[in-house]
Structure 1
Amino acid sequence: MTVDRIVAATGYRTDHSIAAELRLDLDPILGSTRALAPLIDPNAHSCGTVPAHGVDELAHPEPGYYAIGVKSYGRAPTFLMATGYEQARSVVAALAGDWEAARDVQLDLPETGVCSSSLTEAQEQRAGQRVGLATGISGGLLSTPLPLAGVSASTSTEGGCCG
């Protein structure tokens, strides 16, 4: 594969515009809820050391409004899907009125290997396993790992779309 340019999407910032008319209490640096910010601050935590958190840390002054998942983390790069699942469980329990379950947040993460991986090593470990996306066909999975694309160091723009 020949590539003319690579554009990196850096500096991710959560878009809270959908909730612009609601009363939010966002941390001015991270863009997460103010109560969650010290727990996920990348200067103090890696994604494996973020403590379990739920409805209390995700609440805003707007009654009944909770931003969960990656949107709850703002700019913090430490979000994990397991964290989002626990956030969703906690918030749904609160919305259902089960405050005891909502506040019983638990997140067990392995001490190592949670936040970093080698794509090549991961593909080698999965070789032959039936993992992947459901195809919609009974019993069918896209089990072949997608190949990693090589990148040419060429700076030529001939034949490119963006020259």
Structure 2
Amino acid sequence: MVTAFRTGEVAAGGAGTLTLTSLDGATLGDVDEIIVVTGFRPDLSWLAEVRLDLDPVLSAPSRLAPLIDPNVHSCGTVYPHGAAELAQPETGLYLAGMKSYGRAPSFLALTGYEQTRSVVAAIAGDHEAAARVDLVLPESGVCGGSGVFDGEPTEESGGACCAPAPELITLAAAPTARDAGGRGTSCG
């Protein structure tokens, strides 16, 4: 598996494989499978009949959008948030988790857990707990959001969110009971 590789060209290789060339000229040969991570945009069409206040660019709650705008923030610089930023004009409706981030790519599962904790507290009427922020997010190295993605951190990026250098990971078949000296378990 190779990560943080921005493909610029795909060419036929030998024996049914592919050769990839990155935007900066690096090549990977003998590639037999490509999994493309293109991003995600949540489907909010099922909420068409309720009142929503969404940012027109990010499709995220309007109060949350400036905090997660990928042109300004990476996952390490997103202010921890909860019910206040997720509430919608429809009484008792909150967008949480991936759906709350719309087109923004910087969502972290830890963020979703904190959002859910805050929203549940708000629904339960514990507004003090809903307003409290219990989450501290990592400051760097957690995503390829805004700022530098390929290469070293720069002063302008604050050193945050640089993707690691591409690393080749070889996956092998799982060992069999025979490989383990006959001490395997039956999985049938």
Q: TM-score range by the shorter chain?
A: 0.5 to 0.7
Ranked by relative contact order (alpha carbons within 8 Å, sequence separation 6 or more), the top structure is 1
Structure 2 match to 1:85: 113
* Cα distance, 1:46 vs structure 2: 0.6
Aligned residues between the structures: 125
Deviations 1:91-142 (CA, angstroms, capped at 9, x unpaired): 000111100000112321232222245685899xxxxxxxxxxxxxxxxxxx
Structure 2 match to 1:31: 59
TM-score, normalised to structure 1, is 0.66
* Cα distance, 1:20 vs structure 2: 1.1
What percentage of residue pairs aligned between the two structures are identical? 60
Structure 1 match to 2:138: 110
1:22 to 31, 45, 50: 50
Asked if 1:55 is matched to 2:115, the reply is no
TM-score, normalised to structure 2, is 0.58
What's the Cα RMSD here? 3.1
Distance, in Å, in 1 between the alignment partners of 2:63 and 2:52 is 12
* Cα distance, 1:10 vs structure 2: 2.9
Structure 1 residues 35 and 7: alpha-carbon distance in aligned structure 2, compared to 1, 3 A threshold = same
3-state SS in 1 of match to 2:111: helix
Provide structure 2 residue ranges, at least 5 long, that are not aligned to the other structure: 1-14, 18-31, 144-162, 171-188
Structure 1 letter corresponding to 2:70: P
Contact 2:80 2:137 in 1 (8 A): no
Structure 1 residues 9 and 85: alpha-carbon distance in aligned structure 2, compared to 1, 3 A threshold = same
The higher radius of gyration belongs to: 2
Whose helix proportion is higher, 1 or 2?
Answer: 1
Deviations 1:14-40 (CA, angstroms, capped at 9, x unpaired): 210121111000110000000000000
